[in-house]
Amino acid sequence: MLKILKLGGSIITDKSRLATARLDQISRIAHELSGIEDLIVVHGAGSFGHIHARNFGLPERFSGEGLLKTHLSVSELNRIVVEALHDAGVDALPVHPLSNVVLRDGRIHLMSTEVITEMLRRGMTPVLHGDVAMDVSRGAGIVSGDQIVSYLARALRAGMVAMGTDVDGIMIDGRVLSCITPERMHSIEPHLLPAKGVDVTGGMRGKLAELVRLAEIGIDSRIFNAGGSGNVRRALSGERLGTLITGREHGDGPQEA
Ligand code: IPE
């Protein structure tokens, strides 16, 4: 069963300091991933992408230099993540969305998945990331890790989607919702807080929108706290932690919102 894990930028970087990786967290998570097969990792940009993107006015303003600087920065974070995985015994390989994604109006229009499926077939773990990308209608844009997860989950029919963040799930009034269905979104949306620090891809609101799209076509996902020791492994082994986003009733506890 194909598993897709997103590691939010807030968990693997210090979002308040330009290009600062949280090496302890990255290494811990890398060790939790050792031995897990059939896995795609997609990580966010955190302070490696959002700050550059904002400084260059992306995605509203086209800037070749902004694209390059932002891409090089997230690629640097990707290198750190891939190396940590390698050190933990995971056969990881980088895949850069700038080189295999085309956007249209900010959404993924084309993405070649062959390189990813070929890596998986050889027992490798592809590691993608939020990135800048060319956009056929707008010149260029930003493709969030969340959008990549949603696209790949749909294209490759993932059996599990786990979204590691720095919060315990979707929270309303200090309580974690165990389950969200697309029908419930309108009552939840007004309660979602804006992202901490600089975020050019919509924070939790953007994330939920992607996951609701998946739920609508029958692919469930889970938002959980990847900061807790062991949580990444637990989420990938199907434990019920955080918030499940699903199109069906799951008997996953009462809906609290
Ligand atoms: C953003 O990716 C990509 C760039 C800013 C270039 P994400 O939206 O996936 O990053 P995080 O998880 O919010 O940091």
Q: Which residues lie closer than 8 Å to 76 by C-beta, 6 or more apart?
A: 19, 48
Mean pLDDT of 144-163: 97
| Sign of the C-alpha dihedral computed for residues 23, 29, 32 and 33 taken in this order | negative
Residues 49/9, Cβ–Cβ less than 8 Å: yes
Q: Please give all residues whose beta carbon lies within 6 A of any atom in ligand 1, as ranges.
A: 8-9, 44-46, 49-50, 53, 70, 74, 130-132, 142, 144-146, 199-201
201 or 32: which leads in pLDDT? 32
Task: Write down the residue that tokens 């800037």 correspond to.
Answer: 63
Helix-then-strand count for the chain, H and E: 9, 14
- Lowest-confidence segment of 67-81, 83-97, 187-201 by average pLDDT: 187-201
The confidence score (pLDDT) of residue 253 equals: 47
The confidence score (pLDDT) of residue 200 equals: 67
Separation of 198 CA from ligand 1 center, angstroms?
Answer: 10
Domains of the chain as residue ranges with CATH: 3-255 (3.40.1160.10)
The burial of 75, by beta-carbon neighbours within 10 Å (0-12 exposed, 13-18 middle, 19 or more buried), is given as: middle
Q: How many CA atoms lie within 13 A of 121 on its CB side?
A: 7
Separation of 251 CA from ligand 1 center, angstroms?
Answer: 33
Distance CA 215, CA 210 (A): 9
Which of 16, 67, 144 has the most ligand 1 atoms within 8 A of CB, as the residue to mutate?
144
Query: Is the pTM for the entire model greater than 0.85?
Result: yes
Q: How far is CA 166 from CA 19, 123, 188, in A?
A: 18, 29, 19
For residue 254, name the pLDDT band (cuts at 50, 70, 90).
Answer: very low
Which range, 13-17, 71-75, 249-253, is most confident?
A: 71-75
Which of 5, 50, 81 has the most ligand 1 atoms within 8 A of CB, as the residue to mutate?
50
For residue 164, name the pLDDT band (cuts at 50, 70, 90).
Answer: very high
Distance CA 17, CA 139 (A): 29
DSSP string, 198-257: --SS-HHHHHHHHHHHHHHTT--EEEEETTSTTHHHHHHTT---SEEE-SS---SS----
The confidence score (pLDDT) of residue 48 equals: 96
State phi, psi for 163 to the nearest 5 degrees. Answer: -110, 100
* Burial call 219-243: b when 16+ CB within 10 Å, e when fewer: bbbbbbbbbeeebbbbbbeeeebbb
Digit-coded pLDDT (tens) for 118-135: 999 999 999 999 999 999
Q: Which residues lie closer than 8 Å to 218 by C-beta, 6 or more apart?
A: 247, 248
Task: Write down the residue that tokens 């980088």 correspond to.
Answer: 94
